[in-house]
Chains A and B, each alone.
Chain A
Amino acid sequence: MIDARQLTKEYGEKTAVDGLEFVVRPGTVTGFLGPNGAGKSTTMRMVVGLDAPTSGSVTVNGHRYARHQAPLQEVGALLEAKSIHPGRSAYNHLRALALTHGIPGRRVDEVIDLAGLGSVAKKRAGAFSLGMGQRLGIAAALLGDPQTVMLDEPVNGLDPEGVLWIRNLLKGLADDGRTVFVSSHLMSEMALVADHLIVVGRGRLLADTTVADLIREAGGDTVKVATQDPARLRDVLAGPGVDVTGRIGSEELQVTGLTAREIGLKAAEHSIALFELSARTVSLEEAFMDLTRDAVEYHGSTTGIDTLGRPA
């Protein structure tokens, strides 16, 4: 369990994390989602005490991380970038970490096998590919058999097989009753593994919700109808669980709670002419974009390429 209270981190003028307040609970995979520069990595670094909060606090299983007797047994963390010495072998890297806690050598062998590093464990870690480096980082995170597993962008650099491995690993850890906290800037990836979502932008909390709720709030499954007689269609469609919206004087209505097929049949039944009838499913990606539109740190421009090509 991770508990952040009014967690704030300032770097000089810039506020990287701004009063974050959330709880990550055991037994589920919690996704930590936000655009680049939203403060995800900074938050995770504060959880394990690498950065000190400017104000507020974050605790793990009730205590500050540094106060635990066996920190690696409380939180196993994979942080951004490589956190290894390239001159040391994977085995020696893990063994050095294990020695600080009195973790036996057989556990080192276990996590090497678990991460699929058996064949390269004695090689210098500096020669590892990005994906192998991620696997080594995950092996290190699991070393202390921790209650809470916290991974920053774990699928970065992994091949499809590795991505699948991570997904199953995360679900398995959550099923064991562990707290699993995973950051990503890819909603599509999160949708496949996470049950719960914490969405941040510019260091602020934007949503603390479930995947299903997020879609519903973002507009869910609406059907767009254009008709000659919107007022009458409204009355015809009205019913429990059905929500019809539309601007006055417009021929367009947005309907939730009914399928396009049901709307079409009802309109025909009452002889109302329809000009358009289309179902619009909001993808998670869109829901996420909607939520974070104002909070994106670095906007790309799609028109920039045009203007570049054209002589001014």
Chain B
Amino acid sequence: MSTLTAPAEEPRTAPARPAYRVTGRRVLSSEWAKLWSLRSTWITLGLGLLFLVAFGLISASRYKSGIDSGHMDRDFADSTAVSLSLFGANFAQLALGVLGVLVTAGEYSTGMIRSTLAAVPRRLPVLWSKAAVFGLVALVVGTLGGFVAFLIGSGIVSGTPAAMSLSDAGVLRSLLGAGLYLGLVGVIGTALGALLRSVAGGISVLVAALMLIPGLISLLPSSWQDDISPYLPSNAGESMFALTHDSTALSPGAGLLVFLCWTALALGGAAYRLARSDV
């Protein structure tokens, strides 16, 4: 009798509970869903793409009209179809970097981070997932924008000294390098946002690192400049996608390596703070 009742009671005392579990892939899919469920993502990515394509086309048109009218701006003298169409990369990196900062620091400013970390209390998977998801998106947007800008831009400047096609040496490498650079800028943005936990702070440091410091370096004695300057994030990054390299600049491979180091440094700092301090 007792042997019969025991199994019958079992489902009541231990109701079947679904076996949920946090996994790396699930955190990734959560961050993917989070990214696309905000309007600011669509707007900022659209802006980044617009900057990249529009400024590329504007600079190509300026070059073309300079050639046609016969007096060439000195800045444009040794331009190529690649350098002209990637002119917008400087502006696109701002949009993508800022969105990267928003992806992480935005959670702190809104309080969302408490929900996020209560769901994933091991914390670090959140940072890796955010960096991976947004880095990939920025890479795709940057590569797409670079190719579109080049394909249209090279059409505009065809028949001029700057004319180039995709099959020319280094062109493909430059365009892919630009996409990779913008992807990594996105990762650096997410890392700075997580490190500083402030949207304003993250954007300030990002702008300083990518745009202001290269200018300040020119205040140093010139012998130092040559030693330091190529290793700065912006200059190392530019080496990744520049078609021609002067004697002081790094090679594309070395530029990528240095820029990866900067990215790893920012991510490492962000991981340290995320794991160690209260939210």
Contact = CB atoms under 8 A, between A and B. Distances in A.
Interface of A: 45, 48-52, 65-66, 68-73, 77, 79, 81-89, 92-93, 95-97, 99-103, 140, 144-145
Nearest to A176: B15
B117 interface: yes
Interface string B133-176: 00000000000000000000000000000000000000000000
Contacts, number: 105
B71 interface: no
Contacts of B110: 82, 84-86
A55 to B, nearest CB: 15
B115 A84 contact: yes
B17 interface: yes
B117 A88 contact: no
B40 to A, nearest CB: 6
Nearest to B36: A92
Contacts of A51: 278-279
Contact of B37 (A71, A72, A96): A96
Given A84-B110, A85-B112, A92-B33, A71 B118 contact: yes
Most chain B CB within a 10 A radius of its CB, from A87, A93, A140, A145 = A87
Most chain B CB within a 10 A radius of its CB, from A51, A73, A100 = A100
B107 to A, nearest CB: 7
A85 B26 CA distance: 20
Given A66-B123, A103-B20, 12 more contacts: A49-B121, A50-B279, A51-B278, A69-B20, A73-B20, A84-B110, A85-B34, A85-B110, A87-B39, A88-B34, A88-B38, A88-B112
Interface in B221-263: none
A49 B116 CA distance: 12
Contacts of A66: 121-123
B195 interface: no
A72 B20 contact: yes
Interface string B1-34: 0000000000000000111111100110110011
B114 A89 contact: no
4 pairs of A and B residues whose beta carbons are closest in the complex: A66-B121, A92-B37, A99-B30, A70-B20
B111 interface: yes
Contact of B115 (A83, A95, A103): A83
Nearest to A69: B21
B106 interface: yes
Contact of B30 (A52, A65, A70, A96): A96
A72 B20 CA distance: 9
A70 B21 contact: yes
B225 to A, nearest CB: 43
A144 B30 CA distance: 15
Contacts of B111: 81-84
A144 to B, nearest CB: 6
A72 B19 CA distance: 11
B121 A101 contact: no
Nearest to B34: A96
B264 interface: no
Most chain A CB within a 10 A radius of its CB, from B113, B121, B123 = B121
Contact of A97 (B18, B30, B106): B30
Contacts of B38: 85, 87-88
B207 interface: no
B121 A99 contact: no
A111 to B, nearest CB: 14
Nearest to A64: B121
Contacts of A71: 22, 118-121
Given A70-B20, A85-B38, A102 B118 contact: no
Nearest to B27: A100
Nearest to B122: A66
A84 B110 CA distance: 6
A81 B279 CA distance: 13
A50 B122 CA distance: 10
B106 A85 contact: yes
A69 B34 CA distance: 22
B20 A83 contact: no
Contacts of A101: 20-22, 26, 119
Contacts of A77: 118
Most chain B CB within a 10 A radius of its CB, from A82, A89, A92, A96 = A96
A93 B38 CA distance: 10
Most chain B CB within a 10 A radius of its CB, from A45, A48, A79, A101 = A101
A122 to B, nearest CB: 11
Contact of B17 (A73, A84, A97): A73
Contacts of A65: 121
B17 to A, nearest CB: 7
A88 B121 contact: no
A204 to B, nearest CB: 21
A133 B27 CA distance: 24
A145 B18 CA distance: 9
Most chain B CB within a 10 A radius of its CB, from A70, A77, A140 = A70
Contacts of A140: 115
A77 B22 CA distance: 17
